[in-house]
Amino acid sequence: MNKRWDIFCRVVDNFGDIGVCWRLAKQLSDEYALEVRLWVDDLNVASKIVTGLDASLNNQKVNGVEVFLWNGDAIFANITPADVVIEAFACELPKLYIQHMVAKKPTWLNLEYLSAEAWVDDFHAQNSIHPATGLRKTFFFPGFTDKTGGLIREQHLVAQREAAKAEFKRLLSLQVSLFCYPHAPIHSLLQAMSESEHSVECFVPTGSVLGLGKIAEFFGRAQIEVGDTLNKQKLSLTVLPFLTQEEYDQLLWCCDLNFVRGEDSWIRALWSAQPFIWQTYPQDEKHHLKKLDAFLDKYEVKQNDVLSEFHHAWLEAEITPKLWNKLMTALPALKERAELQTQKFEQHTDLAAKLVIFTKNKV
């Protein structure tokens, strides 16, 4: 029962949507032997995340998952809906596909964006009736409590992380990864790191909307390219190529501090068991600050904590050398906290498992 799953994904403005959908599709296929079709509206962007995907092919199988180009309603004329249909992030299913769903009546789930806000507990697994067809759609909210849909976490992730960390050779310099939105106070962060009391090695993956121009400007360069290593005082910055999801996990595991953004890299930083600074996606009326504070509360960070102070400076102000050194002084304690918090969230059932359990209970 419920062997076949369809996941629909629209690529919005970054790699987060497709990143989450691809991780989920792979996990459902690998760990539960489910037949998964991933429908994506932009294969060019998807190919950056899905290793081995040929953007010139409208359908293909990659790592056990069938990947299809979703380019309009007409392609669904002869498509039979799967047993479970996931509408990722309210992307709106094709009308023709919904018409086919009327006879089959599959389990229809709207996978929502992740939030740590308290209201998520009450809205998770609530239903809505489609006005034209009477089909029932369930809103599935990922989250940080047992009352939510959980977080993406592969079964092998913890063992892989610990095995990799056991092989790392710790360096005297501080290792930092930087992945952020372009409006972040990048210049002030780089300046603070360059004036740090300790040597800093910063790694910047390309392929983001980070804007390497700001980094080039800081180092007095017209432009910078993949592979460049730039130096200023205590700071050494290396521009990395676009990383696969597996390679990015490795980067997070080996760094002492990770700057992450959005949803996908945020949760991978959580699973790294290393200290991290999260940049929320900007929203109107500064609602993203409420999302940040809700997470910090779940992460057991108090308002006067240096981690809270640094997060708010990263989102709303500038990073001063004084604040940077304050964070560095607290880093050993933050490392211990990160390990404890990661262990706490690892005790919860993961997102894929909760989805499978939910669909079984619907039968």
Distance CA 331, CA 66 (A): 43
Q: Which helix (H) or strand (E) holds 8?
A: strand 4-9
The single residue listed with the structure tokens 């910090």 is: 296
Distance CA 104, CA 102 (A): 6
Q: How many Cβ atoms sit within 10 Å of the Cβ of residue 50?
A: 26
From 17, 83, 117, 264, active-site residue: 17
The single residue listed with the structure tokens 């991780």 is: 23
Question: Token pair for residue 108?
Answer: 């229809």
**C-alpha closest to that of 362 among 111, 130, 141, 106:** 106
Query: Catalytic: 263?
Result: yes
Question: Token pair for residue 158?
Answer: 């913890």
Contact (Cβ atoms closer than 8 angstroms) between residue 142 and residue 150 = yes
Question: Token pair for residue 323?
Answer: 């604040």
Q: What does each C-alpha distance from 357 to 149, 174, 272 come to in angstroms?
A: 10, 42, 26
Contact (Cβ atoms closer than 8 angstroms) between residue 139 and residue 126 = yes
Q: Name residue 335's amino acid.
A: K
Query: Catalytic: 35?
Result: no
Q: Name residue 105's amino acid.
A: K
Alpha helices in 39-104 (DSSP H): 43-49, 95-104
From 87, 112, 249, 263, active-site residue: 263
Distance CA 254, CA 249 (A): 9
* Catalytic residue annotation: 17, 263
